[in-house]
Structure 1
């Protein structure tokens, strides 16, 4: 990538940080050449802090690092988009994003992460833990049950009921996919390839 750091007098260009799964915009910062090179070398986002007048690695005090997944340059070669995996809240206020969005519109990806975390860190008494102990057959059966319930809700119940049944189906489908070690990303890529 040929980044044009000389377009601004101070050699700083804007960098947009986006969650690599949900695509939610997490924050905006600035980089100079040195910050960009450090980010590329370490795969952890480092900015140039205008207030501190020095390089600043996001998470250096909080531990909430931003792990680089993908880097893109805009058409004018003076703005960077980084898709990253955040270790925790991105904003210094403790919020997920520095932008006061009402809610995460891509919560399904966050739910996938929550389910993955329950697998990696089982919690005694949790629904996922109890269902896992019953095995794959029970998890798959639950997806089937929820599928039938959504059909009934669509044909004979209220919108509220349909939304609730659809939510149950999506949750249990994500659960089944995790049990079979299949990610939403893999499903999305398959859908995209079938669309072409």
Structure 2
């Protein structure tokens, strides 16, 4: 990997720190060649601190180290993407990242859908939506709907209509997300089980 330190008069290049698992951007720091080398050697992310005017390993005082997973250089060879497993909060103010955001695993539209389901569950008595009505009917009805949708997916899988198969698959996933919340779980709980099986 060729890194160009010459574009900055201080021979420092930006290092974007990203959680390897959640993909959340945690912070921005600066590295010189010595900090980069030390990061590779120790597997703990080390920066050049402009305020302290010295090498600084994140976590050297707090214990909240950034454990190195991978480093990539960008197309201009002057910015690093550093993937890490953080040991505790990253920001010196105690938050998960330097933008005061939580470092939670997100699944794009699925996470958005889970939030909508949660809101409708919490307002089931006043909400007139389909989801709220399922929560009002209870766990047996929700589980029954998952079973019905699963059977329909199996039927459509044996057919040749891809659109119907995908429609039924979407229905199954949607009702499964409702069932998870009815049981007090989220997609992340299921993913954690799968991750543990991988080890």
**Bigger radius of gyration:** 2
**In structure 1, the residue corresponding to 2:55 is in which secondary structure?**
strand
TM-score by length of 1: 0.61
Distance in 2, matches of 1:21 and 1:96, equals 14
Distance in 2, matches of 1:54 and 1:166, equals 50
Residues 14-55 of structure 1, C-alpha deviations (whole Å, 9 max, x = no match): 000000000000000000111111111111100000011110
Q: How many residues align?
A: 140
Distance in 2, matches of 1:49 and 1:163, equals 45
Q: Which runs of 5+ in 1 are unaligned?
A: 109-144, 184-196
Distance in 2, matches of 1:21 and 1:150, equals 33
2:176 paired with 1:181: no
Tell me by how many angstroms 1:165 deviates.
2.2
Distance in 2, matches of 1:26 and 1:57, equals 15
RMSD: 3.1
Tell me by how many angstroms 1:106 deviates.
1.9
Tell me by how many angstroms 1:151 deviates.
1.9
Partner of 1:47: 47
Partner of 1:17: 17
Partner of 1:151: 146
Of 165, 186, 189, 2:179 maps to: 165
Question: Structure 1 residues 172, 5: CA separation in 2 closer, same or farther (over 3 Å shift)?
Answer: closer
Residues 41-86 of structure 1, C-alpha deviations (whole Å, 9 max, x = no match): 1111000000111100000000000111011000000000000000
Tell me by how many angstroms 1:96 deviates.
0.6
Tell me by how many angstroms 1:162 deviates.
6.9
Q: Which runs of 5+ in 2 are unaligned?
A: 108-139, 150-167, 169-173
**In structure 1, the residue corresponding to 2:198 is in which secondary structure?**
coil
Tell me by how many angstroms 1:164 deviates.
4.0
Tell me by how many angstroms 1:100 deviates.
2.8
**In structure 1, the residue corresponding to 2:197 is in which secondary structure?**
coil
TM-score by length of 2: 0.60
Partner of 2:88: 88
Tell me by how many angstroms 1:175 deviates.
5.7
Question: Structure 1 residues 166, 13: CA separation in 2 closer, same or farther (over 3 Å shift)?
Answer: same
Tell me by how many angstroms 1:171 deviates.
5.3
Question: Structure 1 residues 169, 38: CA separation in 2 closer, same or farther (over 3 Å shift)?
Answer: closer
The answer to whether the 8 Å contact 2:105/2:188 transfers is no
